[in-house]
Each structure stands twice: as structure tokens, then as C-alpha cells.
Amino acid sequence: MSLNANSADVAFTFKGGMLPMTVMELTSADPERIRRQLAGKLSQSPAFFQHTPVVLSVEKLDEPHLALERICAVCRDHKLLPVAVRGGAEPVRQSAWALGLGWFAPVEEGRARALETVAPLNEPEDDDIKPATAVSVTTRLYRGTVRSGQQVSAAGSDLIVIGAVNAGAEVLAAGSIHVYGALRGRALAGIHGNTQAGIYCRELEAELLSVAGNYKRLEDIDSQLLGRAAEVHFIKEQLEIKPLG
């Protein structure tokens, strides 16, 4: 069927997107060990375990065959929703597909692919699927408030927002994000794996902060930093948030 069909016959359109996703990095393939640790985590942060979609990373496991179905069942028992698997040998990929899960290449391979070709996330829409374009080094400038439900992205560059990012809004960039106003929504920098990216804002109230897939939610942020100008970087395998200036 042609993608240029009459609009009355179009049931869907494809859109590029980069959604915040929790990665559960497995260092054990034992479902019971995973169950015990999840039970402890659930007692500490019950709000987190409320139908949160997760990607199961098996890159650190040296096992071609996993009890993937049992691991997914353990996650669901604790209100986590496995949606995909990252890494693993061919049997793991086949198991993921058999369970109705997606499969991602290991992170280094995935990053290499992303740097080769990146499809723009926020270009004007067409009925046609656009071919991927080369990564740009320019900076995208957005003037105005990013409102709830809106997404502003810079798929191949830094992003500067001259305004606020409201709660329920989302800003994404391959590079760094600069918000010259209140940041109350979600900000995801380094979306293709750039750990050198940062997030900078005049007033920090973010629902979620992420650099290269490493994130913190509002409840994880030191209350003394809220409402202040702040900067966020990925340092020593964790997000570091500190006052700006």
C-alpha cells in the first residue's frame, strides 16, 4: 500500500522519537537473586515500580542462553514492564522476539550506528518516510515556552530553549541542553550516547534529567538544588547535579 494514500485511508504515521527509558542492567541471570533485589528496591521506592517500562540489558552476562521468560515474569511480579532486551547472543535475540520483546544491539554497536545516520526527530511531517540524514554540528534554537505534551528535539546538535519547559513537556538533544528559564518537564541530553553532554537551566524543577541514558527523577534530586540555576553532567558513572555558576 502506498504511503501517499488518501488521508482518509491513513490509519497511522511513523514518527521519529526518543523516549525516556529505564535500563535494567543485569549482572546475574539468576531469577531468584533478581527477585530478592527487586523486593528490596520496591520497599524503598514504591512509586518507581508502577508499570515502568524497562529494557533488560544482558551485555555484562556471559551466557548465550538465559531464563529470559522467568526474568520477565519476576519483573512483572514487581510491576515493571519489560519491553526489550539489549545485547546477548543470537539465542537471546530469538528468545526476546519469541516473548514479544524488542531487541537492541549492544550499546557500543548501537552508538556507532546512531553516529553514522540519525533521522531528525522534529522535522515537518510528511506522508512519506524521510531517509536518514547526516549528523549536524549546528545548534538548534527554540524561542518560547515548551508546553505540556510538547516535544522539542535536536537530533544532531545542542538545543537552546529561550523560555521555560513546562511540566509534561520534553526536550531532547544529541548534545547539551540549555534552558534559559524554568525546567519543569523532562530533559534528555546526549540521546545517542554522548556522555560529554550536559544540561543547564536557570531554575531546576525537572521531572526527569538524563545524560546518555543515565537519569534522575525529581524525587532523586537534592531539595537544596530545586528552584536554583543548575548544571547536570555524567561523571564517574553517575549524574552529578550542582549549582550553576
Give the separation between CA 207 and CA 148, rounded to whole angstroms: 12
φ, ψ of residue 103 in degrees (nearest 5): -140, 130
Contact 87, 117 (CB under 8 A): no
Report which residue type is found at 46.
P
Supply the pLDDT for residue 126.
37
pLDDT per position as a tens digit, 143-161:
999 998 888 988 889 999 9
Contact predicate 170/188, CB 8 Å: yes
Residue with cell string 520497599: 43
- The string of pLDDT tens digits covering residues 61-102 is 887 778 999 999 999 999 889 999 998 888 899 999 999 999
pTM over 0.85: no
SS3 47: coil
Q: Is the pLDDT score of 117 beyond 60?
A: no
Handedness of CA 23, 27, 28, 32 (dihedral sign): negative
CA distance 170 to 208: 9
Taken in order of first residue, the domains within the chain and their CATH numbers are 22-114 (3.30.70.260), 139-243 (2.160.20.70)
Q: Which element (helix H / strand E) includes 189?
A: strand 186-189
Per-residue model confidence as pLDDT tens digits over 168-225: 899 999 899 999 999 999 999 998 888 999 999 999 999 999 998 888 888 888 889 9
